[in-house]
Amino acid sequence: MSEPVIEVRGLTRRFGSLTAVAALDLTVAPRTIYGFLGPNGSGKTTTVRMLTGLLTPSAGEVRVLGLELPRDAERLKRRIGYMTQKFSLYDDLTVVENLRFVGEIYGLGRRAARQRIAALLSTYALEPLRDRRAGQMSGGQRQRLALAAATIHEPPLLFLDEPTSAVDPQSRRDFWERLFDLVDAGATILVSTHYMDEAERCHRLAILKDGHKRADGAPAELMAAMGARVVEVEGSDLRALKPQLAALPEVLSAAQLGSRLRVLIHDRIPDPVAWLRTQTLDPMPTHLALVHPSLEDVFVTSTGDAPA
Amino acid sequence: MNGLLLSVRRILVILTKELIQLRRDRTTLGMVVMIPLIQLVLFGYAINTNVRDIPVALVDQSNTALSRVLAQAVEATQVVRFTERYAEIPQAQEAISAGRVRAALIIPGDVSERIARSGSVSPRLEPPPATDGPTSRPVAQWLVDGSDTMIAAAIKGLRSMPLAELLRKPANRMTPTFEVALFFNPEQRTAINIVPGLVAIILTMTMVMFTSAAIVRESERGNMEMLINTPVRPIELMLGKIVPYIGIGIVQTAIILTLGHLIFDVPLDGPLGALAATTLAFIGASLALGLVLSTIATSQLQAMQMTVFILLPSILLSGFMFPYEGMPVPAQYLAEVLPVTHFMRTIRAVVLRGAGLHEVAFDTLWLVGFMLVGLVVASLRFKKRLD
């Protein structure tokens, strides 16, 4: 395996008495999409800001693209792209003006900038919007513009901080297609999110909670190794059944999904369905079935909490 | 060399962006022209230090033909106007307390006698000795609301008004102690002094205001997080931000001086080179000051408050309203810190007195120095980090 793009040991950041990120270890391999999954306030944005050199870590070692942070922060800036959580281009400039601004700030020559902007406009379907002001565009359009601007200088490493929080599902799918295109072209992407479906698309994933890393691995590995099994329960009065199930020590969590309860049972119980049948519950469940775990189940078992 | 070229290009990019944003902000663009236009016309006409027609009361205890002529003679000076007449002194005092009049003239019952004996009427070669009781008694008395010193001074100016014509006598020959020749503004019109000063005040206001918001606005709108992630250097950002406003400052100066010349006959005597040099230096200093404020403020509202904080002493201490020389020495030192004090001196010197570049060199260089220090401070204070 080649040299990791991001290597972090013991990364910590404190704001006064609050520890936003605690002793984080990370390794991100090249040409992968690495996800940070966590609820709001779990330290995702703080970590991204430290990795881009915007925040100075309180402790820990950070190497990004072979550069030591925070010492080499300025040199790193030319080689990374950063798409902020909040839209950070100019609302009162048009699509082309925004791209030209960012391109020239990164030192692209006039001709190179023109070619690059033309390519980006077509890749991100912005051609018909080229003279539209950013402030008048929809969430999905602004997000495509932001990604175009973040990649205008073709950075080998891209940071995306909750990139799809203001975007409809269809735009989100298209957006991820573009991300896989970028990885295919050689880029490494670090993306933070609190959407399960998005996290599931990542090559590798770290689950953050209160600044601590609770799990790290490929989504499929995480699901296989989660230490619990999932039983779907059907019954007449699910609202009454749920607290009874949740009170059992072997049950890690019970959450209602439409007309079913999704119950996570610790894997020290060899046959969870049979075990559930032996419990005294009122009303008794009408139907029990063992199902495949989802990433949400991984999230719940690793954080001990419902996702945000 | 390549690095410098890239640097210049980044400055140009930021500058272009500022110009585009400015062009689309119609309200701000309108203010660039309307602020100097309206304020020039308003203040040029309104501000007048030659006090006239002060409303005063008359208490005529003598009520003779002579006392009426005396009152008329006082009114004929145009300094005061008798708006109230009272029989008793307490009524007049009450009117002063209530603010209906600024002063009251009390003409005593024996005014005829007093006038007859008064030194200002009887022709003598030598003034009467101070011990000579009857002749040293004044003719009448003014009760003045002395809280406004300018009004009080105007009425005090009436103290030695000649009375000879009251008695249809030829006026005494008056030999003033000094002869005074008034240069540069012989008609003593206030607008002559106000208009160049207005250039300094309006430039202070608009230049500091524009740039004090410049950096904060980027942070408030969320653009800063993108900008600090790019290779742009703080000094490049600062320069790119102030250069467009230099043009605006020049436009405003041109509007005020041209209209001042056309409407208020303010001379434009000085060499254009000196005017341009000192004005550019002041614009630069004000913009740099605004940038420093912009790195301190955390919101546009705070930036606005800081601008006002700078603007008030600029108006009151710079010599625009009150003579610099009249201030106590510590206040003068304080005023020296403000760029506007220096510019107030140089622009009046160039516009009104036709001073050349070498005569305003010291203050102009001081302004250039202020600008450089301001730019360095703003660049150092500006951190490309969020902590």
Residue A136, both tokens:
């008048």
- The answer to whether A89 contacts B387, with C-beta atoms less than 8 Å apart, is no
Number of independent structural domains in chain A: 2
pLDDT classification of A306: cutoffs 50, 70, 90: very low
Q: Does B13 touch chain A (CB under 8 A)?
A: yes
Residue A187 falls within a domain, yes or no?
yes
Please tell me the distance in Å from B222's CA to the nearest CA on chain A. 5
State pLDDT tens for residues B135-175.
667 888 999 998 988 888 888 888 878 776 666 666 566 67
| pLDDT for the residue B51 | 82
Q: How many CA atoms lie within 13 A of B24 on its CB side?
A: 12
Sign (positive/negative) of CA torsion A67, A69, A70, A73? positive
Number of independent structural domains in chain B: 2
Give B-chain residues touching A91 at CB under 8 angstroms.
221
- CA–CA gap between residue A106 and residue B13 (Å, rounded): 10
Q: What percent of chain B has pLDDT over 90?
A: 41
Residue B179 falls within a domain, yes or no?
no
Identity of residue A136: Q
A141 and A265 assigned to the same domain = no
Q: What residues 180-239 of chain B have any CB closer than 8 A to a CB of chain A? A: 221-232
pLDDT, average across residues B43-55? 84
B143 and B243 assigned to the same domain = no
Query: Which residue among A53, A89, A105 sits closest to B13, beta carbon to beta carbon?
Result: A105
Residue B159 falls within a domain, yes or no?
yes
| pLDDT for the residue A103 | 93
Which of A28-37, A156-165, B46-55, B94-103 is predicted with the least confidence, judged by mean pLDDT? B46-55
Name the one residue in this structure whose structure tokens are 């990791």.
A4
- CA–CA gap between residue B155 and residue B97 (Å, rounded): 17
- The answer to whether B385 contacts A82, with C-beta atoms less than 8 Å apart, is no
- CA–CA gap between residue B107 and residue B74 (Å, rounded): 12
Mean pLDDT of chain B: 87
Please tell me the distance in Å from B8's CA to the nearest CA on chain A. 11
For residue A102, the chain B residue with the least C-alpha distance is B230
Give A-chain residues touching B225 at CB under 8 angstroms.
54, 84, 86, 88
Interhelix angle B339-353/B361-381, nearest 10 degrees:
150
Name the strand (E) or helix (H) holding B84: strand B80-86
Give B-chain residues touching A92 at CB under 8 angstroms.
20-21, 24-25
- The answer to whether A90 contacts B13, with C-beta atoms less than 8 Å apart, is no
| pLDDT for the residue B60 | 92
B205 and B92 assigned to the same domain = no
pLDDT classification of A8: cutoffs 50, 70, 90: very high
Query: Which residue among B10, B21, B228 sits closest to A54, beta carbon to beta carbon?
Result: B228
Name the one residue in this structure whose structure tokens are 């009467």.
B128
- The answer to whether B386 contacts A54, with C-beta atoms less than 8 Å apart, is yes
How far lies A72's CA from each of A27, A64, A80, A154, B387, in Å? 19, 9, 13, 19, 16
User: Prior bond to A283 cis, omega within 30?
Assistant: yes
Residue B75 falls within a domain, yes or no?
yes
| pLDDT for the residue A307 | 39
Give B-chain residues touching A78 at CB under 8 angstroms.
231
For residue B229, the chain A residue with the least C-alpha distance is A77
A23 and A46 assigned to the same domain = yes
Interface residues of A toward B, Cβ cutoff 8 Å, are 49, 52-56, 73-74, 77-78, 80, 82, 84, 86-93, 97, 100-102, 104-107, 149
Residue A302 falls within a domain, yes or no?
no
- The answer to whether B21 contacts A97, with C-beta atoms less than 8 Å apart, is no
B151 and B236 assigned to the same domain = no
B155 and B199 assigned to the same domain = no
A233: alpha, beta or left, given left = phi > 0 and alpha = psi -120 to 50? beta
Give A-chain residues touching B226 at CB under 8 angstroms.
82, 84, 88-89, 102, 149
Residue B238 and residue B375 in contact, taking contact as beta carbons nearer than 8 Å: yes
- CA–CA gap between residue A35 and residue B22 (Å, rounded): 40
B232 and B154 assigned to the same domain = no
CB pairs under 8 A between A and B: 76
Please tell me the distance in Å from B18's CA to the nearest CA on chain A. 10
B286 and B348 assigned to the same domain = yes
Task: Give the helix, strand, coil percentages of chain A, each rounded to 5.
Answer: 35, 30, 35
A241 and A218 assigned to the same domain = no
Residue B249 falls within a domain, yes or no?
yes
- CA–CA gap between residue A161 and residue A182 (Å, rounded): 16
pLDDT classification of A196: cutoffs 50, 70, 90: confident
Give the Cα-Cα-Cα angle A175, A87, A186 (nearest 5 degrees).
40
- CA–CA gap between residue A233 and residue A273 (Å, rounded): 9
B66 and B42 assigned to the same domain = no
Burial of B41 (0-12, 13-18, 19+ CB in 10 A): middle
For residue B385, the chain A residue with the least C-alpha distance is A54
Q: Say whether pLDDT at B74 is over 80.
A: yes
Residue B12 falls within a domain, yes or no?
no
B39 and B59 assigned to the same domain = no
CA dihedral B227, B229, B233, B237 (to 10 degrees): 0
How far lies A131's CA from each of A137, A140, A184, in Å? 11, 17, 30
A202 and A279 assigned to the same domain = no
Report the CATH number that the domain containing residue B76 is assigned in CATH: 3.40.190
Report the CATH number that the domain containing residue A242 is assigned in CATH: 3.30.70.920
Q: Which structural domain range is residue A113 located in?
A: 6-222
Of the candidates A294, A304, A298, which has an alpha carbon nearest to the alpha carbon of residue A209? A304
Residue B269 falls within a domain, yes or no?
yes
DSSP bridge pairs for A9: A61
Q: Say whether pLDDT at A80 is over 60.
A: yes
Q: Which structural domain range is residue B376 located in?
A: 17-47+190-381
For residue B3, the chain A residue with the least C-alpha distance is A107
Residue A272 and residue A229 in contact, taking contact as beta carbons nearer than 8 Å: yes
- The answer to whether A88 contacts B385, with C-beta atoms less than 8 Å apart, is no
- The answer to whether B20 contacts A97, with C-beta atoms less than 8 Å apart, is yes
The last residue of a domain, from among A222, A256, A283: A222
For residue B383, the chain A residue with the least C-alpha distance is A54
A274 and A192 assigned to the same domain = no
- The answer to whether A74 contacts B10, with C-beta atoms less than 8 Å apart, is no
Mean pLDDT of chain A: 88
A263 and A211 assigned to the same domain = no
- CA–CA gap between residue B266 and residue B288 (Å, rounded): 30
State pLDDT tens for residues A226-251.
888 888 888 888 888 888 888 888 88
pLDDT, average across residues A109-121? 92
Residue B11 falls within a domain, yes or no?
no
Query: Which residue among B10, B16, B226 sits closest to A84, beta carbon to beta carbon?
Result: B226
Report the CATH number that the domain containing residue A144 is assigned in CATH: 3.40.50.300
Residue B184 falls within a domain, yes or no?
no
Residue A307 falls within a domain, yes or no?
no
Residue A77 falls within a domain, yes or no?
yes
The last residue of a domain, from among A200, A222, A244: A222
- CA–CA gap between residue A124 and residue A96 (Å, rounded): 13
A202 and A252 assigned to the same domain = no
| pLDDT for the residue B167 | 66
B237 and B310 assigned to the same domain = yes
- The answer to whether A87 contacts B222, with C-beta atoms less than 8 Å apart, is yes
CA dihedral B117, B122, B124, B129 (to 10 degrees): 20
Residue A280 falls within a domain, yes or no?
yes
| The A260-266 sheet, strands edge to edge | A251-257, A260-266, A228-234, A287-291
Residue A142 falls within a domain, yes or no?
yes
Query: Which residue among A82, A92, A100 sits closest to B229, beta carbon to beta carbon?
Result: A82
CB contact set of B311 (below 8 Å; sequence gap of 6+)? B201, B204, B205, B208
Interface probe, candidates B10, B12, B21, B387, chain A, greatest A C-beta count within 10 A:
B387
| pLDDT for the residue B289 | 93
Please tell me the distance in Å from B273's CA to the nearest CA on chain A. 36
B138 and B277 assigned to the same domain = no
Chain centroid, CA B208 distance in Å: 18
Query: Which residue among B14, B20, B222 sits closest to A86, beta carbon to beta carbon?
Result: B222
B176: alpha, beta or left, given left = phi > 0 and alpha = psi -120 to 50? beta
Please tell me the distance in Å from A53's CA to the nearest CA on chain B. 7
A216 and A231 assigned to the same domain = no
A257 and A199 assigned to the same domain = no
Q: Give the burial string for B271-296 (b: 16+ CB within 10 Å, else e).
A: eeebbebbbbbbbbbbbbbbbbbbbe
A22 and A118 assigned to the same domain = yes
B157 and B99 assigned to the same domain = yes
B376 and B357 assigned to the same domain = yes
